[in-house]
Each structure stands twice: as C-alpha cells, then as structure tokens.
C-alpha cells in the first residue's frame, strides 16, 4: 500500500528532524521540500539576484537543477551538481527562502517533482503547504507546532553546535519574522489544513514528538 504523510508547520518546529526519523522507522521516503526551496534561495544569493523582483527570480529558474540524493544513509541536497546540504542551513538562506518561496512560479517549479515522488512510493513530506496544496489527498496530515520561543531555542542550539554564535534574540526575531511572512504571503500561505491533526511539541522532547507522530500515522494508516 502506497500512502503519503503531510507534515506542515512553522519554522523551527522540528519537522525535518522528526520526518527523517519517522521515515527511517517506517521504511518510507523522506522528501525535504524546505531544502529544495532553500537551494533555490542559495542559488539566488550566490548569483546576486534581486530576490524582491519576482520576474528576475523566475527568469533564473532555468539555470537551477535540484536533486535529493542519499549518500551513506543521509539525504543530500544537490544544487547544479554541488552538495549544498550544509550551505542551505543558515539564517540568511532561511530568510531568503521565505521571500522566494512565495512566488507562484517558484512553487510550480518544484511541485511537480514533489507530487511525482508521492505517486510512486510511500512518503513523508514536510513543509508549509503540503497538506493544503502539494498533497491535498494525503492519507495523514499533521500540523506540527510549538511556541515561538521554544522553536527559537531549538534553532539557536543547532546553530551553536555548528559554531554559529548568532544571539538568541536575533534567532527569535528571525523565527517570528518568518512566521509572519509565511502566514501572510499571497501564494500558498502557512495554515493548518482542515483535516490535519494539530500536534504541539512545546513540552515534548524529540523522542516523544516522534512517537506522537507515529501514533497518529498508525491510527490513520491501518
């Protein structure tokens, strides 16, 4: 049986980490849509593209080739032949992606790829509009959230572990700014699908969050 799991929610909610672990435990494919949008953002930054000009950004898409590959058991993001898995995880790329991912043609550029994967194999796909736009017929829809300060703390700790000493208050401000951008964008705004289950992980650790997602999946997919 082929089935799809849509895992949506704001930045810093832990979607990617949880989705990766769930995919591993269930033996299904993890599709990191956020990484795809970040790769586009990274390309625009590297090439000094005016990200606030939708026409200019769209004109550059023909020069962008993005692939998700598995190397040594880990998912890698390949941008024009280069592994950019680490480069796309900066605050600058995150904020840029929040701008460029709002453009309709940028979303269309990636959506066909995302949907085609889900047609051929069972997937867990995380993002901000998976359950509402990309996979509206997904058998399992979960909206993962947490308090903004909790999400900022998690993101700040991740950055610290990588040697990035961005102050906590700056990380929090970026989280809250991106929330506002994602919720208020015209194209595919961040919102909980009507048939999605809300899972607040503010008071859950990683393993508890993973188990909560697994319990929802087991209830929906029998």
- What are the structural domains of the chain? 4-217 (3.40.50.300)
The stretches of the chain forming alpha helices (DSSP H) are 15-26, 33-46, 54-60, 91-100, 104-120, 148-161, 168-184, 206-220
Rounded Cα distance, 131 and 121, in Å: 17
205 Ramachandran zone, left/alpha/beta (phi>0; psi -120 to 50):
beta
In percent, the amount of the chain with pLDDT more than 90 equals 70
- Rg value, the chain, Cα: 17
Mean of pLDDT over the chain: 92
- pLDDT by residue (tens digit) across 200-209? 999 999 999 9
Is residue 11 within 8 Å of residue 154, measured between CB atoms?
no
CA distances from 135 to 19, 30, 110, 152, 169 (A): 16, 14, 13, 28, 35
pLDDT for 70 beyond 80 = no
In percent, the amount of the chain with pLDDT more than 70 equals 100
pLDDT, residue 202, reads 95
Task: Give the 3-state secondary structure of residue 190.
Answer: coil
pLDDT for 75 beyond 80 = no
Backbone angles phi, psi at 75, to 5 degrees: -80, 130
Rounded Cα distance, 138 and 5, in Å: 6
Question: Residues 145-161: what's their mean pLDDT?
Answer: 93
């Amino acid at each position: 049986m082929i089935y799809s799991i849509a895992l949506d929610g704001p930045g810093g909610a832990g979607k990617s980490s949880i989705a990766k672990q769930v995919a591993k435990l269930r033996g299904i494919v993890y599709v990191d849509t956020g990484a795809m949008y970040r790769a586009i953002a990274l390309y625009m930054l590297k090439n000094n593209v005016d990200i606030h000009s939708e026409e200019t950004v769209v004109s550059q898409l023909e020069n962008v080739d993005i692939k998700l590959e598995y190397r040594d058991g880990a998912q890698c993001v390949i941008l024009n032949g280069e592994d950019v898995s680490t480069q796309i995880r900066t605050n600058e790329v995150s904020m840029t992606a929040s701008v460029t991912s709002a453009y309709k043609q940028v979303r269309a550029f990636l959506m066909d790829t995302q949907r085609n994967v889900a047609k051929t194999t069972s997937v867990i796909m995380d993002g901000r509009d998976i359950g509402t736009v990309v996979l509206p017929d997904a058998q399992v829809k979960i909206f993962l959230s947490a308090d903004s300060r909790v999400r900022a703390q998690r993101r700040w700790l991740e950055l610290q572990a990588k040697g990035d000493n961005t102050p906590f208050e700056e990380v929090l401000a970026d989280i809250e700014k991106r929330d506002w951008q994602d919720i208020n964008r015209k194209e595919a705004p961040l919102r909980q699908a009507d048939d999605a289950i809300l899972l607040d992980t503010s008071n859950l650790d990683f393993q508890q969050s993973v188990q909560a997602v697994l319990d929802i999946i087991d209830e929906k997919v029998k």
